[in-house]
């Protein structure tokens, strides 16, 4: 029996009734390069053609900028499947994406020294 709000895809005893890769029609490679930290946001354009319910759920989550990882967590789908769904939405103009912005070089010596100093003060 499906739980309220979960829709017909989930069952209390059996779990997910549809395999995640069925959602992406078996595709495992997105057409757009997306990182887990990439930000996606709805453009307001109406997607042309049929999109599945997961596409609609993903698009609904992207009203404000959100990371690919967050969308995957909310949809309860593997990241690779979520990337395929999001790339479909980018391809049809319903989403825009931008790579994650890093303000600091993670191997910047001054940043690493500041972290080390902070850790030493904690001990």
Please give the Cα distance from 42 to 40 (Å, whole number): 7
pLDDT in tens, 74-112: 998 888 889 988 998 998 889 999 887 666 566 778 878
User: What is the structure's pLDDT at 6?
Assistant: 45
Q: Does 2 have pLDDT greater than 50?
A: no
How far is CA 75 from each of CA 8, 16, 78, 91, rounded to the nearest angstrom? 14, 12, 9, 20
pTM of the model: 0.63
Sequential DSSP letters for the chain: -PPTTTGGGEETTTEESS-HHHHTTT--S-SS---TT-EEEE-SPPPPS---HHHHHHHHHTSS-EEHHHHHHHHT--HHHHHHHHHHHHHTTSEEEEPPP-SS-TT-HHHHHHHHHHHHHH-
> At what angle are helices 68-75 and 53-61 packed, to 10 degrees?
130
pLDDT in tens, 65-82: 999 999 999 998 888 889
């Amino acid at each position: 029996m499906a739980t309220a709000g979960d829709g017909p895809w989930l069952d209390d005893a059996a779990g997910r009734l549809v395999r995640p890769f069925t959602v992406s029609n078996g595709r495992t490679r997105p057409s757009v390069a997306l990182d887990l930290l990439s930000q996606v946001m709805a453009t307001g354009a109406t997607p042309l053609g049929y999109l599945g319910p997961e596409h609609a759920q993903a698009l609904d989550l992207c009203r404000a900028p959100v990371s690919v990882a967050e969308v995957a967590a909310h949809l309860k789908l593997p990241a690779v499947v979520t990337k395929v769904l999001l790339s479909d939405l980018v391809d049809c103009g319903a989403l825009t994406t931008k790579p994650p912005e890093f303000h600091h070089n993670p191997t910047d010596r001054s940043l690493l020294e500041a972290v080390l100093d902070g850790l030493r003060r904690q001990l």
